[in-house]
Structure 1
Amino acid sequence: MLELQWPWILALLPLPMLLLFMNKTASKQSEAIYWRFSRVLSLNSSRKKARFSRYLSATPLTLAWCSLVLGISQPTWLGEPTKIPPTGRDLLIALDLSGSMQVTDMTSNQTPINRLQAAKNVLEEFINERRGDRVGIIVFGSKAFLQAPLSFDLNTINQLVQETQIGFAGEQTAIGEAIGLGIKRLEDKPADKKVLILMTDGANTAGRVSPLQAANFAAKEDVIVHTIGIGAEKMIVQGFFGPKEINPSSDLDEALLTNIAELTGGQFFRARSLDELHAIYRTLDELEPTPSEEVFQRPVTSLFHWLGLLSLILLGVAMLVSGNVKLRRKSNAV
């Protein structure tokens, strides 16, 4: 669809004819403006051949003026609307890959699974629901690494999550470094909201960055950190004197994770089972909803430069034709 940004410019189209009409009463200053049109469009000659030559000269000059005025009116061509991803949040998920994540204290369909597998199962569903958000993955153990940069390609993000393995980042737990890396990847991003979801089953045992220092800096950078402590509180293991009950999450520092969430405006969640983990991510979907409105964009192409080029070409043709007319007049006079 063609659209004119300044349609009122088209009112200048009859200006040359108006100047020609005022030729007899116009001042010399006005003559300096319209003299070219006057000479080309003059119809005083009675000879048909001369009259035809003048018409021939006037046509490209008139078209050049029309093209110029139309170009100045800023015509644009609007293409078909295309759907684009709505801009929502920049959301990073920091996943603990330390050695303790291999503890098998979760169940799925009455089958024992380790903590990492439980996290993968829930994250797959959660990530698929984040249409409109850019999602990225950080993995951390003794150090923190970026597994997947922020992207709208949720299928690739999910694939990279499923490829993670315990011990990839070391056996210890560097919570402070994971938060610090998240802040670095989220800084200067234009998203409406920047969110980091940190999932761990232990305490900070590695890294040079203090988790609370990192949390304070995250608050200054307007990064919300939600923390999830994963791991059951009861587990039956086989001891020397028979089965006994232990707490496999005794190392989980709930107080630290709570402080991190409170400092950044987030929430702390406790996942003791796979069902609780599912419920936590459903809550996070409500706390950090994705954009619901579809966003469409129409490509806009400016036609100004094409019309300007056409005007220059027609002006050149008019000058060439006018020059030929002059040469013919001189040859006929001779």
Structure 2
Amino acid sequence: MISLGAPWALLLLPLPLLVLWLVPPHRERVPALRFPFFRHIVDAAGSEPGPGAVVLSRTGLQMAAAVAIWLLVLLALARPERVGEPVEITRAARDVVLAIDISGSMDARDFAAPDGTRKQRLEGVREVVRSFVEGREGDRMALIVFGTRAYVQAPLTEDLGTILDLLDRTEVGMAGPHTALGDAIGLAIRTFEASDIEQRLLILLSDGTDTASRMSPVNAAEIARGEDVAIFTVGVGDPEASGEDRVDLATLRDVAARTGGAFFFADDEAGLREVYARIDALAPREVETLSYRPRQSLAWIPLALAALIGTGATGFLALQDQRRTVA
């Protein structure tokens, strides 16, 4: 389908007629001879003197070329374009940040696999998170790891393969031995600042007690609530342990409640898979569909035709003048 991007340009169609009507014609001076008693000599010779300036007349070819060029230039100004079939683009209507605890306690080999064997906590978490990420194709996700400090491993991106690759390369203790739960929430809030999507979800997994944050998890949760960030907290590990090895379920539950999220606890791989399945059910993937029609400009066609007509008419008139001069 062909359409005009600026059809209002066609209102300029009568502009040459207005110029012809309102602007006086251009007069060009011609060679002349003046001498004393000019009027008496002209009367004696019976001649009629001509004007010292004349309005040049136009040939039919010049008029036709001028009209055609004006119409073509006007058509180019109206921006003709070919409109293609509608194209729909589906994109996520919510951004998700994964914050994974990699403090020293995640090295404990007490995470029960479905076959009954015991594996490292981080290893079990990685396998479950991998399946969760793979099931959110089309969403934008970010990855934060935290220990003594919190770090952005991957900013918000639709390249989920990169998220998984970076998660596989993450090792226990890379961010320090302690747990900075509040700093991880604060860093997630800063990560969301690059997002123009209103719905924001933070999934926070930890197996310890906050001991290294510059901001308490509760205060960070209050800020997250003000930024419309919903936090789903997941506790893994042993709530009966002592020191930093004890998972602080009360704080994780409070953080989730303050932001309108939910709290979960899992002490084995099967339970963690169920947790992520419940998170997926509570916060299903939301998308928005954008539709547009591709447009290809065709303004170059009338401009090229106008140039060809102008060049051809000028060349033809110049050739005619040359022939008259020779004759």
TM bin, normalised by shorter chain, reads 0.7 to 0.9
Match of 2:121 among 74, 94, 115: 115
Task: Give the corresponding residue for 2:277.
Answer: 282
Match of 1:313 among 299, 307, 313: 307
Match of 1:101 among 106, 121, 129: 106
Deviation at residue 298 of structure 1 after TM alignment: 4.2
Alignment of 1:124-135 (within 5 A): 124-135=130-141
Q: Quick one: distance in 1 between partners of 2:302 and 2:20?
A: 30
AA aligned to 1:95 is I
**1:121-152 deviation per Cα after TM superposition (whole angstroms, max 9, x unaligned):** 11111111112211110000000011111111
Q: Quick one: distance in 1 between partners of 2:292 and 2:249?
A: 46
Is 1:232–1:249's contact at 8 Å kept on the other side of the alignment? no
Match of 2:186 among 180, 186, 191: 180
Is 1:233–1:249's contact at 8 Å kept on the other side of the alignment? no
Deviation at residue 308 of structure 1 after TM alignment: 7.1
AA aligned to 1:254 is L
| Cα separation, partners in 2 of 1:292 and 1:177, compared to 1, 3 Å | closer
| Cα separation, partners in 2 of 1:308 and 1:211, compared to 1, 3 Å | farther
Q: Quick one: distance in 2 between partners of 1:213 and 1:309?
A: 64
Task: Give the corresponding residue for 2:43.
Answer: none
Match of 1:226 among 210, 222, 232: 232
AA aligned to 1:282 is A
Query: SS at 2:304's partner residue?
Result: helix
Task: Give the corresponding residue for 1:23.
Answer: none
Query: SS at 1:86's partner residue?
Result: strand
Q: Quick one: distance in 2 between partners of 1:260 and 1:331?
A: 96
Is 1:137–1:149's contact at 8 Å kept on the other side of the alignment? yes
AA aligned to 1:270 is F
Is 2:2–2:82's contact at 8 Å kept on the other side of the alignment? yes
Match of 1:266 among 261, 274, 281: 261
**1:65-93 deviation per Cα after TM superposition (whole angstroms, max 9, x unaligned):** 33223223332234566664513221110
**1:247-282 deviation per Cα after TM superposition (whole angstroms, max 9, x unaligned):** 999711111111111111111111122122111111
Task: Give the corresponding residue for 1:45.
Answer: none
Deviation at residue 222 of structure 1 after TM alignment: 1.3
Task: Give the corresponding residue for 2:146.
Answer: 140
AA aligned to 2:107 is Q
Task: Give the corresponding residue for 1:251.
Answer: 246
Q: Quick one: distance in 1 between partners of 2:83 and 2:11?
A: 23
RMSD: 3.6
Deviation at residue 182 of structure 1 after TM alignment: 0.5
**1:143-181 deviation per Cα after TM superposition (whole angstroms, max 9, x unaligned):** 001111111111121111111111111111000110111
Is 1:98–1:142's contact at 8 Å kept on the other side of the alignment? yes
Q: Quick one: distance in 2 between partners of 1:285 and 1:269?
A: 13
- The answer to whether 1:61 aligns with 2:66 is yes
Deviation at residue 312 of structure 1 after TM alignment: 6.4
**Runs of 5+ in structure 2 lacking a partner?**
26-55
AA aligned to 2:166 is L
Task: Give the corresponding residue for 1:29.
Answer: 22
Is 1:227–1:261's contact at 8 Å kept on the other side of the alignment? yes
TM-score, normalized by length of structure 1? 0.74
Match of 1:77 among 82, 99, 106: 82
Q: Quick one: distance in 2 between partners of 1:167 and 1:274?
A: 21
Count of matched residue pairs: 296
Query: SS at 1:108's partner residue?
Result: coil
| Cα separation, partners in 2 of 1:286 and 1:249, compared to 1, 3 Å | farther
Task: Give the corresponding residue for 1:301.
Answer: 296
Deviation at residue 105 of structure 1 after TM alignment: 2.9
Query: SS at 2:284's partner residue?
Result: coil
| Cα separation, partners in 2 of 1:27 and 1:130, compared to 1, 3 Å | closer
AA aligned to 2:117 is T
TM-score, normalized by length of structure 2? 0.76
Task: Give the corresponding residue for 1:243.
Answer: none
Percent identity reads 35
Q: Quick one: distance in 2 between partners of 1:248 and 1:213?
A: 22
Query: SS at 1:65's partner residue?
Result: helix
